[in-house]
Amino acid sequence: MSNTPDRPRSLDDLPQARVEHSRKSWFFWLVPIAAAVLAGWFIYSDMFRGGPTLHLSFENAAGLQAGKSQLKYRGAEVGEVRDVKLAKDHQRVEITAVLKKSAESLAREGSRFWIVRAEVGAEAIRGLRTIVSGDYIAVAPGGGKRETKFTGLEEEPILEPGGVLKVVLLTERSGSLRKRSPIFYRGVQVGEVFDTRLGPESQTIHIDVHIKRHFAPLVRTNSKFWNAGGINFNISLSGADITAQSAETLISGGVDFATPDTTQPEAPEGTAFRLYDKPADQWLSWAPAIRLEPEKHPPEQASNLRP
């Protein structure tokens, strides 16, 4: 008698596997599906919703962080820093940033970029908000052709707005005058110093001054300019009188000017004036009647001659 088990006579006699569908298996697919959707969204955002990618070069990018630092124009966020790395020659830092679609017009030849940091010094206090929000890159738009590679500025630029009268002051020493030192007329700031430079023969200092166009009629060919910085001492029988134009001029210097009652024609562009150390007594009494047109504020012109 054989102990061999009976073999199935046909395929129908074979045991059949039973497949059961579990609802729990769908949860395992949620993670890869969500990852694919998220990746697709990033690709769509970069390709269709994002603006151009900028390549910026700075000597020092301290304070900037990839994925955190922003690009700003007039206080509005217009982009984000995506990468910060050292250049191959180790001399500069290369920044990769992406503009928003709405700000793609900023990627033009002539645009200027600089890093805004907290700055506390003798001349000014700037960028204190960055202590909380972090350093960011500011931009002043240019008007040239499309461009994505820029060399960043190491400090905030002094823009040259079109609505200014440019004159030159000549002196032997610049003293405390420097960029952004204010220009006053009867105590009202009407302009600022744009730059200081040596003259062609290195014997005089040329101080380039910008007067806001609204106040240009105040500058006549016979106007007198003098250094308003420092402290003025006036000793008389009644005692000593110590005065200063303002706290700002004590630190960063300043220039004051006056126009005689018998005015001459308005000073043309590029007129050179001598900068005196102090005013003559009669200059302070001049009070000519000069009509000024209402001041206009075009949307593209920065206020106070600054970005």
Structure tokens at 40: 């697709």
Which residues have C-beta within 8 Å of that of residue 139, sequence separation ≥ 6? 71, 72, 73, 78, 106, 111, 112, 113
pLDDT-based confidence at 177, cuts 50/70/90? confident
Q: Is it the case that residue 271 has pLDDT exceeding 90?
A: yes
Cα–Cα distance for residue pair 256/230, rounded to 1 Å:
12
The pTM assigned to this predicted structure is 0.55
The helix/strand/coil state of 274 is strand
Percent of the chain residues past pLDDT 90, beyond the cut:
45
Q: For residues 231-267, b (16+ Cβ closer than 10 Å) or e, as one string?
A: eeeeeeeeeeeeeebeebbeebbbbbbbbeeebeeeb
Cα–Cα distance for residue pair 67/177, rounded to 1 Å:
40
User: What pLDDT is attached to residue 201?
Assistant: 83
pLDDT-based confidence at 149, cuts 50/70/90? very high
Q: Is it the case that residue 210 has pLDDT exceeding 90?
A: yes
Is residue 72 within 8 A of residue 81, CB to CB? The reply is no
Give 55-72 pLDDT, tens digit per residue: 999 999 888 999 899 999
Give 231-257 pLDDT, tens digit per residue: 454 544 454 444 445 445 444 578 999
User: What pLDDT is attached to residue 159?
Assistant: 57
End-to-end CA distance of the chain: 108
Q: How is residue 60 annotated by DSSP?
A: -
The helix/strand/coil state of 65 is coil
Q: Is it the case that residue 130 has pLDDT exceeding 50?
A: no
Is residue 153 within 8 A of residue 113, CB to CB? The reply is yes
Q: What does the chain come to in residues?
A: 307
User: What pLDDT is attached to residue 14?
Assistant: 60
Cα–Cα distance for residue pair 255/287, rounded to 1 Å:
18
Cα–Cα distance for residue pair 57/87, rounded to 1 Å:
9
Query: Which of 98-107, 125-134, 159-168, 203-212 is predicted with the least confidence, judged by mean pLDDT?
Result: 125-134
Q: Is it the case that residue 273 has pLDDT exceeding 90?
A: yes
Which residues have C-beta within 8 Å of that of residue 175, sequence separation ≥ 6? 227, 229, 230, 253
pLDDT-based confidence at 275, cuts 50/70/90? very high
The helix/strand/coil state of 137 is strand
- Over residues 263-286, mean pLDDT: 94
Sign of CA dihedral 295, 207, 151, 119: negative
Structure tokens at 70: 């922003």
Q: Is it the case that residue 23 has pLDDT exceeding 80?
A: no
> Across all residues in the chain, what is the average pLDDT?
79
- Other CB atoms within a 10 A radius of the CB of residue 49 amount to 11
Q: Is it the case that residue 43 has pLDDT exceeding 70?
A: no
Which residues have C-beta within 8 Å of that of residue 81, sequence separation ≥ 6? 64, 65, 66, 67, 68, 69, 70, 71, 95, 96, 97, 137
Cα–Cα distance for residue pair 257/217, rounded to 1 Å:
13
Closest-CA residue to 84 (of 71, 69, 100): 69
- Other CB atoms within a 10 A radius of the CB of residue 153 amount to 15
The helix/strand/coil state of 167 is strand
User: What pLDDT is attached to residue 114?
Assistant: 92
Is residue 215 within 8 A of residue 292, CB to CB? The reply is yes
pLDDT-based confidence at 274, cuts 50/70/90? very high
Q: Is it the case that residue 12 has pLDDT exceeding 50?
A: yes
Percent of the chain residues past pLDDT 70, beyond the cut:
67
Phi, psi (deg, nearest 5) at residue 45: -65, -40
